């Protein structure tokens, strides 16, 4: 078989408060200025797959691109074949490139444990000030963050379309996950927000035939990734 699907699963653990913004179209007096995005059914915080995909691609571009790309279509081939591009494929180079990676939304998985450990809620409000350097006045704002210690289910699907490129693709994927750990997710990373850790990562073949034994050995030998 010339096609297979691999699934990475694990946990995303917050090492510091996380802010990924949600809707703030209506803000009553005294309301939080910048709320976090939440699941519309459970009202619990979530990490959108789009946030993981976008930040991981940006970090990989800094490593793999030989020059600054004017747009994502100009990313290194190792990136575009994993994340896709609006053009660059086909014999004419103008056809879309289908992404090999599918990022699922990550849902909060340890709500009960957080409450049992003493957390009063799943988010916190952090008050911050920005300073107008001309008027020398403070402009306070309230930022909502998902609390440190929160855990989210992680799931990433990888389509094996060229078996000769799997080893190289997997290296890029693991580089991307490591870069996320070394950088930050969401906003305000330079102020300490968004430090994360991947844990209990495992890979399995969910369609077709590909032996993930060596990959899981590598994942198991490391703390997180």
Residue 177 φ/ψ, nearest 5 degrees: -65, -40
Query: What pLDDT is recorded for position 27?
Result: 46
Query: What pLDDT is recorded for position 3?
Result: 94
| Tokens of residue 87, six digits | 């053009």
How far are the Cα atoms of 28, 37, 40, 125, 214 from residue 23, in angstroms, in the given order? 13, 7, 11, 16, 43
pLDDT digits (tens, 9 = 90+) for 196-211: 999 999 999 999 999 9
| Arithmetic mean of pLDDT over the chain | 89
Residue 45 φ/ψ, nearest 5 degrees: -60, 150
pLDDT digits (tens, 9 = 90+) for 17-73: 999 987 554 444 444 568 999 999 999 999 999 999 999 999 999 999 988 888 889
- Beta-carbon contacts of 143 under 8 Å, excluding residues fewer than 6 positions away, are 19, 32, 33, 34, 125, 126, 127, 128, 188
Predicted confidence band of residue 90 (pLDDT cuts 50, 70, 90): confident
Q: Are 175 and 63 in contact, with CB atoms under 8 Å apart?
A: yes
pTM of this prediction?
0.88
């Amino acid at each position: 078989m010339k096609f297979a699907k691999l699934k990475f699963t694990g946990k995303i653990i917050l090492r510091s408060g996380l802010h990924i913004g949600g809707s703030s179209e209506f803000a009553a007096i005294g309301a939080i200025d910048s709320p976090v995005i939440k699941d519309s059914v459970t009202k619990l915080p979530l990490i959108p797959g789009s946030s993981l995909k976008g930040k991981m691609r940006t970090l990989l571009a800094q490593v793999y691109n030989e020059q600054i790309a004017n747009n994502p279509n100009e990313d290194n081939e190792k990136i575009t074949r994993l994340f896709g591009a609006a053009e660059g494929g086909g014999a004419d180079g103008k056809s879309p490139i289908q992404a090999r990676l599918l990022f699922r939304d990550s849902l909060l998985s340890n709500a009960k444990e957080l409450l049992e450990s003493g957390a009063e809620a799943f988010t916190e409000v952090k008050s911050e000030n920005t300073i107008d350097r001309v008027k020398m006045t403070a402009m306070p704002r309230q930022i909502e963050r998902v609390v440190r210690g929160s855990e989210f289910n992680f799931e990433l699907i990888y389509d094996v379309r060229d078996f000769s490129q799997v080893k190289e693709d997997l290296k890029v994927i693991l580089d991307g996950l490591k870069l996320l750990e070394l950088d930050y997710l969401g906003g305000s990373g330079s102020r300490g927000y968004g430090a994360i850790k991947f844990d209990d990562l495992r890979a399995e073949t969910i369609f077709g035939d590909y032996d993930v034994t060596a990959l899981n050995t590598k994942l198991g030998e490391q703390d997180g990734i």
